[in-house]
Amino acid sequence: MPVQDKNVPLPDKALGDALSHVVHDAVRESLRDSLRTVLREELREELRAELSRATRKQRRKAALYAASGAVGLYAGAAAALTLGLVIALGLPGWAAALIVTALLAVAAVLMRNAARAERGGVPAAPKTPPTGGTAGFPTVPPSAGPGTPGTPETPGAGPPPPLAPKSRGPLE
């Protein structure tokens, strides 16, 4: 094998430069891919640990709320029993139990109505279904006003004025 003199340049310097760039680019790409993989795995592990901590906190909070609800339920049952026993001092036991049951039922209905309310705890007015017409569609009254198709333009025609509220007496 012949030994090349250090003073003599390589016969094809461009080929050496191209090879150097290819190797350099391949190493850079390999390092970039390795770094991406390592960073992705590190980020995934960090997110998993953070989510695990957050889930643990939420699980503990949910368990405390559930326990609070159960203890509150037992406290309400004890209060109802106490009320029943106090009423039973003057009435028979069955009557006291009936009174407590009725009070609890009224409280449940009031709370349900408050939950359904549209404005500030006031029960919503019942919705009346449309009357007249066909297939559930309301009819247009003949005095719908001027410009309504199919109605004559009569001055003064329109809905009747609202009635004044009636007084029920001093105990309203």
Mean residue pLDDT of the chain comes to 76
45-97, pLDDT tens digit by residue? 999 999 998 898 899 889 989 999 899 999 999 999 999 999 999 999 899 99
Does 102 score more than 90 pLDDT? yes
pTM: 0.38
Task: Indicate the pLDDT class of residue 98, thresholds 50, 70 and 90.
Answer: very high
CA 134 to CA 166: how far, in whole Å?
35
97-101 long-range CB contacts below 8 Å, 24 or more apart? Answer: none
Q: With 60 as the cut, is the pLDDT of residue 27 above it?
A: yes
Report the b/e string of 42-69 with b at 16+ CB within 10 A. eeeeeeeeeeeeeeeeeeeeeeeeeeee
pLDDT number for residue 24: 85
- pLDDT score of 42 more than 80: yes
Nearest CA-CA partner of 80 in 51, 54, 105, 101:
101
pLDDT score at 172:
45
Higher-pLDDT residue of 21, 124? 21
Model confidence band, residue 168 (pLDDT cutoffs 50, 70, 90): low
Tell me which of 10 and 49 has the higher pLDDT: 49
Cβ 86 vs Cβ 97: under 8 Å: no
Measured CA angle at 81 (ends 78, 86), to 5 deg? 125
How many other C-beta atoms are found inside a 10 Å radius of the C-beta of residue 100?
20
For residue 84, how many other CB atoms are within 10 A of its CB? 19
Q: Using 50, 70 and 90 to split pLDDT, how confident is the model at 13?
A: confident
Helices (H), the chain: 13-87, 93-116
Name beta bridge partners: 112.
none
**Share of residues in the chain with pLDDT > 70 (%):** 61
